[in-house]
Amino acid sequence: MKIAFLGPHASFTQLATAQLFPNDELLPQSSILDCFSAVENGDVAKAVVPLENSIEGTVSMTLDYLYKTPSIKIEAEAVMPIAHHLMIHPDNSIEDIEKIYSHPQALAQSFHFLDTHYKDIPKQDFSSTAAAAKYVSENKDIKIAAVANQYAANLYGLKIINRNIQDFEQNHTRFIIISKLQNKYENEDLQTLGEKSGMLITLPEDHPGGLHQVLSVFAWRKMNLSKIESRTLKTGLGNYFFFINVEGSWNDILHGNALKELESINADVDFLGNYKEFLLES
């Protein structure tokens, strides 16, 4: 099966995709839009894109494209702790390193470690952590190191000198698997964190209390929201849609009736699926 993901090769999204689809053909895309287009056109069966906290893509794009392409639904969510490692060409030694390359945000996220241990070594911005790792692998004659992930170290045969150099332990990225298949992704090899439903809700008109009315539908049924995010519609200022996650497995009576009640108050609901949340390794 062909699976698109937000590239480049050895990006954090590929690290996630390789765990979700270990036996499939993974095709890197240069943007979140390209991932959605590949799914919509049928070039691939599924795609993996970041939903929250990525350093590789503006993830608000993911919500916007979910809204713009109603045929595309969510099969699963996956959460991965962010881990940065310092790596060099295996023929070089860390004492010789004269420069450290990485994505500006990866350097920023590793600032305290780098400032403590490699204060006098200049840092250089690169377009991605993966591109920095590739550059190190191809240029063993210049003495450089990269800050990148485990997948990049493996792919480009680099030696990891320091592991987990990120400043905050609990930083993580969330990804979703998207497709047109209305499928529920399953994987017994991964730890399941829970189950949830995703939906996009547009209100008929922008009036005070509109969102409150929508949330009443879930509140009196004691359905717990785990995420809510508003996004501007491009049609004009002041018009919004909402991305909402409701906790729990699908329940015909509970979910079915909630969706009917949302319809009855003229909310436009794009139900994206009831799906599992998995924990990935960094």
Q: Which residues of the shown chain bind a copy of itself in the complex (CB under 8 A)?
A: 8, 30-34, 52-55, 57-60, 103-105, 107-109, 111, 125-128, 131, 168, 170, 193, 206-209, 211-213, 215-216, 218-230, 234, 237-238, 240, 242
Residue with Cβ nearer a copy of itself (181 or 282): 282
Q: How far is the CB of 221 from a copy of itself (least distance, A)?
A: 8
Residue number, 127 or 249, with CB nearest to a copy of itself: 127
On whether the CB atoms of residues 181 and 45 are closer than 8 A, the answer is yes
Q: What secondary structure does DSSP assign to 98-158, as a single string?
A: -EEEE-HHHHHHTHHHHHHHSTTS-EEE-S-HHHHHHHHHH-TTS-EEEEE-HHHHHHTTP
Count of C-beta atoms within a 10 Å radius of residue 1:
9
Q: How far is the CB of 251 from a copy of itself (least distance, A)?
A: 14
Coil, strand, or helix at residue 201? strand
Closest CB to a copy of itself among residues 94, 240:
240
Distance CA 248, CA 225 (A): 10
Shortest distance in whole angstroms from residue 126 CB to a copy of itself: 6
Residue 174 C-beta: closest distance to a copy of itself, Å: 9
The dihedrals phi and psi of 142, each to the nearest 5 degrees, come to: -95, 140
- What distance in Å separates the CA atoms of residue 18 and residue 26, rounded to the nearest whole number? 8
Q: How far is the CB of 109 from a copy of itself (least distance, A)?
A: 8
State which residue, 67 or 183, has the beta carbon closest to a copy of itself: 67
Nearest residue (CB) to a copy of itself, 23 versus 170 = 170
Which among 128, 209, 122, 117 is positioned nearest to 163, based on CA atoms?
117
